Amino acid sequence: MQLTGAEIVIRCLQEEKVEYIFGYPGGSVLFIYDELFKQDQIRHILVRHEQAAVHAADAYSRSSNKVGVCMVTSGPGVTNAVTGIATAYMDSIPLVILTGQVPTAYIGQDAFQEADTVGITRPCVKHNFLVKDVKDLAVTIKKAFYLAKTGRPGPVLVDIPKDITIQKCEFHYPKTISMRSYNPVIKGHAGQIKKAVQLLLDAKRPMIYTGGGVILSDAADRLTRLARMLGFPVTQTLMGLGGYPATDRQHLGMLGMHGTYEANMAMQNCDVLLAIGARFDDRVIGNPAHFGQVPRKIIHVDIDPSSISKRVKVDVPIVGNVPDVLDEIIKQLEASEGKPDQKALAAWWKQIEEWRGKHCLKYKMGKDVIMPQYVVEKLYEVTGGDAFITSDVGQHQMFAAQYYKFDKPRRWINSGGLGTMGFGLPAAMGVCFANPGATVACITGEGSIQMNIQELSTCKQFRLPIKIINLNNGYLGMVRQWQQMFHGNRYSESYVDALPDFVKLAEAYGHVGMRITKPADVEPALKEAFGKHKHELVFMDFVINPEANVFPMVAAGKGLSEMILAEEL
Amino acid sequence: MRHIISILIENEAGALSRVSGLFSARGYNIESLTVAPTEDASLSRMTIVSVGSDDIIEQITKQLNKLIDVVKVVDLSEAAHIERELMLVKVRATGKDREEMKRIADIFRGRIIDVTESSYVIELTGNTTKLDAFLDAIDRSLILETVRTGVCGIGRGDRILKV
């Protein structure tokens, strides 16, 4: 049967079992929206800004491991979506973004709402396509889903000119697809894995360092099994949190710029490092030259060869899918006669416990003024540690990562790579759709929340019971912290004057608003929000200590062991 | 170190900009870049000359391989190979210079492919250093115009870059 391009788009999405499209209509996608209207298998979630559509689809994927789908119109629809696309790209999130384009004959004519979508998005997608023939449409969408979720995942964009959506052709959706230019490696090299196992068994001061790759590949159970088999300490990056239970004794907490003292010291001083699905980025290992001063053997497991030996030279590279590689490591360890050196391990743990004894996340509790750390700790208690937490970017993000102990993967949803303010609220929306009935909180600040605050309207439309934890200190806190520490207390443009009354604002959108100013009110307010107002969106405006800073801290360009601790100031 | 990187890439619209965009976005250097379809019209072959440390060249080949449209990448300079570049030079050729120019072109095995009363166009093929040497050998003030294709290269003997 002959179908129009618009019908084909919808049929393809149905074939892919897409539940939700996050999007915003416009001229060039009208025919597709018309077909969307005529069916009820796929639900469209109308956002209030295209950036939010992409963030929502992104977090839908992060919290479910399904491919997120969004649709926007040509020109400004696309340019608004770019921040969202770049956010997903930096964190390797599988998305398919369908964009309208002006009719084929108008391309290059500076037509109304025309933009060079493929050109603009090229550096921030895994791949993109411009469909020039309706006959290519179905196979292109198939390729987009295939590329998005295989190998190192990422966003894939399909640009569809309006005339293509009305032309007709025979519809056939391919069951499978193969591309001669794209063959991601799955299994790790057996010889390399053997070398890695030997190094692990010979280690005196071993360390396991894991990142977002563990979460993305659903390898948390294997990681936990491997770590417990070996009895080695584990540290996780911001993107890796939840890959190993944070409440477990072997977990040293997050590492990096705002990592724990014990995690950073162990990372710096280990003799064998097993890096899994992590990429040694600047916020994680600080200055690579300083990191390289201590000799250690590094085993690096990653699906992307270009992540290996990019910033730090590794000794045993293993390219492959994390779960497959971990299975093989576990298998070889079980078959091996050697066991980890228990005596050396005990001495290493003794050293680690000494570092842990510094209690680097201690903070001074105020009597009259709320500390942000306290809010996150109480949130953890009130939600039983089992909520989905999204965040924006800044101090609140670090407090969330430090004080909310994630025991399960896919519970911590944040923009780690790009560091996108405005991510948190639309992300929470995406989480709600992927996990109906789940407890979802967005930890944010008064700076970040205002970058996508219009989504309070979307939340109302779809009755999303998100709890917004606004850590309001009146400053762009992380900027202020750097200005205080490195720019002689000159708070250049980091004070946000004329903030709205967030309680009234929440109410204006039809939600519940609360302002909490006293430490004693924190817990009761949270209980009320998650209890009495369980099914409503509650905007909790916590007025917090404006002086609070995030510690420990490795200043930019410094080494991991050169941390600034709270007590040193 | 100077490297000659050969790429087989799907002959799709925008393939060139994916490669050149990668180089500019990651701050890699391009000395020259040539591209044309191969005997299989669905594939283009690209030759890029780049300068960088071993680490950088390793990253370049990895990043190129990561591009979805790229089918194969080879660093030709890793083993025996042949490189060639074509140059057309338009020179002033009057008076005593006319004979001298012809002589130097002959020495470099260049061919004069266009002649007017006052100028020649000389065609010259060779590796980059040979073409540079020719330009150094003639009187610079006589050069009216030069155009070079950039380097293309191929492995010697059994080294074959094919799908």
The reply to whether residue A310 touches residue B59, judged by beta carbons under 8 angstroms, is yes
Which residues make beta-bridge pairs with A426? none
A112 catalytic per annotation: yes
The reply to whether residue A181 touches residue B70, judged by beta carbons under 8 angstroms, is yes
Least CB–CB distance from B62: residue in A119, A126, A306? A306
Q: How many other C-beta atoms can be found within 10 angstroms of the C-beta atom of residue A331? A: 12
Q: Chain B, 6-25: which have a CB under 8 Å from a chain A CB? A: 9-10, 13-14, 17-18, 21, 25
Residue A569's pLDDT is: 56
User: Beta strands A388-391 and A440-445: pairing type?
Assistant: parallel
Distances (CA, A) of A552 to A86, A150, A254, A563, A569: 29, 37, 11, 6, 11
Residue A235's closest CA among A401, A110, A354?
A: A401
The CA distance from A438 to the nearest CA of chain B, in Å, is 37
Least CB–CB distance from B14: residue in A118, A180, A309? A118
Least CB–CB distance from A181: residue in B10, B58, B59? B10
Residue A32's closest CA among A78, A70, A75, A84?
A: A70
A334 catalytic per annotation: no
Whether residue B66 lies within 8 A of chain A, CB to CB, comes out as: yes
Per-residue pLDDT of B97-123, as tens digits, reads 999 999 999 999 999 999 999 999 999
Q: Please state, in angstroms and rounded to a whole number, the distance separating the CA atoms of residues A228 and B33.
A: 52
A113 catalytic per annotation: yes
Q: Please state, in angstroms and rounded to a whole number, the distance separating the CA atoms of residues A52 and A455.
A: 7
Q: Which amino acid, A556? A: A
A486 catalytic per annotation: no
Least CB–CB distance from A181: residue in B14, B59, B68? B68
Q: Please state, in angstroms and rounded to a whole number, the distance separating the CA atoms of residues A256 and A294.
A: 17
The predicted complex's ipTM stands at 0.93
Taking CA–CA distances from B25, the nearest residue in chain A reads: A123
Of residues A113, A454, A461, A484, which has the active-site annotation?
A: A113
A171 touches A13 (CB < 8 A): no
Q: Please state, in angstroms and rounded to a whole number, the distance separating the CA atoms of residues A525 and B3.
A: 64
A210 touches A243 (CB < 8 A): yes
The reply to whether residue A118 touches residue B58, judged by beta carbons under 8 angstroms, is no
Whether residue B71 lies within 8 A of chain A, CB to CB, comes out as: yes
A471 touches A550 (CB < 8 A): no
Of residues A14, A112, A518, A532, which has the active-site annotation?
A: A112
A410 touches A242 (CB < 8 A): yes
Q: Please state, in angstroms and rounded to a whole number, the distance separating the CA atoms of residues A151 and A436.
A: 29
Q: Which amino acid, A194? A: K
Residue A38's pLDDT is: 97
Whether residue B160 lies within 8 A of chain A, CB to CB, comes out as: no
DSSP letter (8 states) at residue A177: -
The reply to whether residue A306 touches residue B63, judged by beta carbons under 8 angstroms, is yes
Q: Please state, in angstroms and rounded to a whole number, the distance separating the CA atoms of residues A124 and A121.
A: 5
Per-residue pLDDT of B12-46, as tens digits, reads 989 999 999 999 999 999 999 999 999 999 999 99
A413 touches A388 (CB < 8 A): yes
The reply to whether residue A123 touches residue B21, judged by beta carbons under 8 angstroms, is yes
The CA distance from A136 to the nearest CA of chain B, in Å, is 13
pLDDT along chain A (569 residues), means of 10: 96 98 98 98 98 98 97 98 98 98 97 98 98 98 98 98 98 96 94 97 98 98 98 98 98 97 97 97 93 96 95 96 98 94 97 97 92 98 97 98 98 98 98 98 98 98 98 96 96 93 98 98 98 98 96 94 83
Q: How many other C-beta atoms can be found within 10 angstroms of the C-beta atom of residue B103? A: 9
**The whole model's pTM is what?**
0.96
Q: State the sign of the Cα–Cα–Cα–Cα dihedral A446, A449, A450, A453.
A: negative
Q: Please state, in angstroms and rounded to a whole number, the distance separating the CA atoms of residues A491 and A258.
A: 21
Question: How big is chain B, counted in residues?
Answer: 163
Range B35-64 average pLDDT: 96
Strand order in the sheet with B43-51: B32-37, B43-51, B2-10, B70-75
Reading the block at residue A155, the tokens are: 């966003």
